[in-house]
Homo-oligomer: A and B are copies of this chain.
Amino acid sequence: MMTTKDKIIAIDLGGTSAKLAIVSTNGEILQKWSVNTVVLNGGKAIVPNLIESIQERMDLYQLTTEDFLGIGMGSPGTVNHIDLTVIGAYNLNWVETQNVGEQFSQAFKLPFYLDNDANIAALGEQRHGSGDNASDVVMVTLGTGVGGGIIVDGQIVHGNSGAAGEIGHMTIDKDSGIACTCGKIGCLEALASATGLMNLTREYSEEYSGDSEIKQRIDNGDELTAKDIFEASEQHDMFAKHVVEQFGEYLGLGCSHIVNMLNPSKIILGGGVAQAGEYLRELVARHCDNYIFPALKGKTEIVIASLGNDAALLGAAELVNDGKLVG
């Protein structure tokens, strides 16, 4: 029987679960499932569990390694995409170096590719989502933190120690007095993530004395989310509007640094906060425009991510496609 090697195994490893998929080489998700991430005992069971789950699924679908071009995986932490190792993925309890590539190579006779989770999400959106396959694209993921993935000439930018794309830790307002989890003051992540929005909300609530339902709820000690603040701003709550404008100014300034430095076709806003959609997009684009070099105006489009969680799976699969291209 002829085998075609037209399928890829894609893995998006996270702190609570790993998402897995069988993806066609042209980017169609054929099967998708997930596995709990067991972080006990230094996360030693994580990779064996993934391997076991893949073997089960291959049996279930009557597939063999002959059907696959390779395995592509995204991981949190500091990923060495050449040695295929991960270190410092604290939400996995992976403190020391993990030889992820070695474990996969022993289990499957298949090429294995590994990259950082923010990078593969950027690659997925660039190739199959809002990136429209443009060669230069930057993805900014707005969740609890601010992540970044940079694509130049169609390829992930890794930098000299695999840590390029720390967009969330650019110092955007050193005078803000708002501390970041990294220990610095005024990082983009401390000002313009979901957490950052709440930081700005708390700060402004101390000085605001006008009429505002949101402000009342804060004073009542209600737990608010980024979504609540954005919705109140859209409904013209003046307190929320001020906070969201400040958030937009910070994020717009951060995006302008990306535009001035890299002149990408698109900046793709993803993550939970990007569910605010067009309201967020217009906000960020408007502020960004104030800070970009005049000759660059209109050269970079700010767009909302379109693939959700599938971005990482499709990006992981693209690592395998690219590996095939280069050899």
- Residues of chain A touching chain B, judged by Cβ–Cβ distance below 8 Å, are 78, 88, 134-136, 148, 150, 152-153, 155, 157-167, 169-171, 174, 182-184, 253, 256-258, 260-265, 290-296, 299-300
The residues of B that contact A167 with a CB separation of less than 8 Å are 260-261
- In the complex, are the beta carbons of A257 and B265 less than 8 A apart? no
**Which among B157, B161, B295 is the interface contact of A152 at CB below 8 angstroms?**
B157
Closest to A184 in B: B291
- Given known A135-B160, A153-B155, A182-B294, contact A165–B78 (CB-CB < 8 A): no
Q: Would you call A169 and B262 a contact (CB within 8 A)?
A: no
CA distance A150 to B152 in the complex (A): 11
Contact yes or no, A260 B169, CB < 8 A: yes
Q: Is the CB of A170 within 8 A of B299?
A: no
Determine whether the beta carbon of A170 is less than 8 Å from that of B134.
Answer: no
Query: A166 and B263 in contact (CB under 8 A), knowing A153-B155, A295-B78?
Result: yes
Main secondary structure on chain A at its contact with chain B?
loop
Are B148's CB and A261's CB within 8 A?
A: yes
In the complex, the answer to whether A163 meets B263 with C-beta atoms within 8 Å is: yes
Cβ B264 vs Cβ A159 within 8 A: yes
Q: Which residues of B contact A165 (CB under 8 A)?
A: 261, 263
- What's the nearest-Cβ distance from chain B to residue A178, in Å? 15
B170 touches A261 (CB 8 A): yes
Q: CB-nearest residue of chain B relative to A292?
A: B169
Q: List 21 A-B contacts (CB under 8 A).
A: A136-B159, A136-B164, A150-B262, A153-B155, A153-B157, A157-B262, A159-B263, A159-B264, A164-B261, A164-B262, A166-B263, A169-B260, A170-B256, A171-B253, A171-B257, A171-B291, A182-B293, A184-B290, A184-B294, A257-B261, A261-B262
Q: Are B160 and A300 in contact (CB under 8 A)?
A: yes
In the complex, what residues of B have CB within 8 A of residue A265's CB? 160
Residue on B with the closest CB to A159? Answer: B263
- CB contacts (< 8 Å) of A162 on chain B: these are 263
User: Given A160-B135, A160-B264, A295–B171 Cβ distance below 8 Å?
Assistant: no
- Give A7 Cβ to nearest chain B Cβ, in Å: 29
A128 to B289, CA, bound (A): 37
Distance of A256 Cα from B170 Cα, bound (Å):
7
Instruction: Tell me which residues across on chain B come within 8 A of A155, comparing CB atoms.
Output: 153
With a cutoff of 8 Å between Cβ atoms, the chain B residues found around residue A258 in the complex are: 261
Cα distance A148–B263 in the bound complex, in angstroms: 12
CB A34 to nearest CB in B, in angstroms, measures: 29
A188 to nearest B CB, angstroms?
Answer: 9
Question: Closest 6 A-B residue pairs measured CB to CB?
Answer: A159-B263, A169-B293, A164-B263, A160-B265, A171-B291, A166-B260
When A182-B294, A294-B183 are in contact, do A260 and B170 touch as well, CB less than 8 Å? yes
Which B residues are in CB contact (< 8 Å) with A260? 166-167, 169-170
- Residue with the highest number of chain B CB atoms closer than 10 Å, among A159, A174, A253: A159
